[in-house]
Amino acid sequence: MDKIERAKLIEALQKGQVTVTFQKVDSEEIRVMPCTLNPTVLEANGIISRFDSLNPESDHLPAWATDKNGWRSFRLDTVISWEVLGE
């Protein structure tokens, strides 16, 4: 995933919910994860976090997994695809 695509993914996560499909490093399992970094969704779950300055060059990305109601992270180089939910 190039720098521009990473920045687009981060922006989409901050705006709403995104489904990210990636390969787990430890088991090589394919994971389809609905997730977000949207402050409204995070606050509704009792979380106050600021992700205004996420680095699009980082190789890991934390996100709130809406199916697990918890923080998860994934390596950006294992992302197979992503799409904005509701589009």
Distance CA 48, CA 65 (A): 15
Which CATH number, 1.10.3470, 2.60.40, 2.40.30, 2.30.30, labels domain 3-50+57-84?
Answer: 2.30.30
Distance CA 37, CA 26 (A): 24
* CA distances, 59 to each of 18, 21, 38, 45 (Å): 18, 16, 20, 26
pLDDT digits (tens, 9 = 90+) for 59-83: 889 999 999 999 999 999 999 999 9
pTM, rounded to two decimals: 0.87
pLDDT digits (tens, 9 = 90+) for 15-59: 999 999 999 999 999 999 999 999 998 998 888 766 655 666 678
Going from N- to C-terminal start, the domains of the chain cover: 3-50+57-84
- As given in the structure block, the two tokens for residue 19 are 């489904």
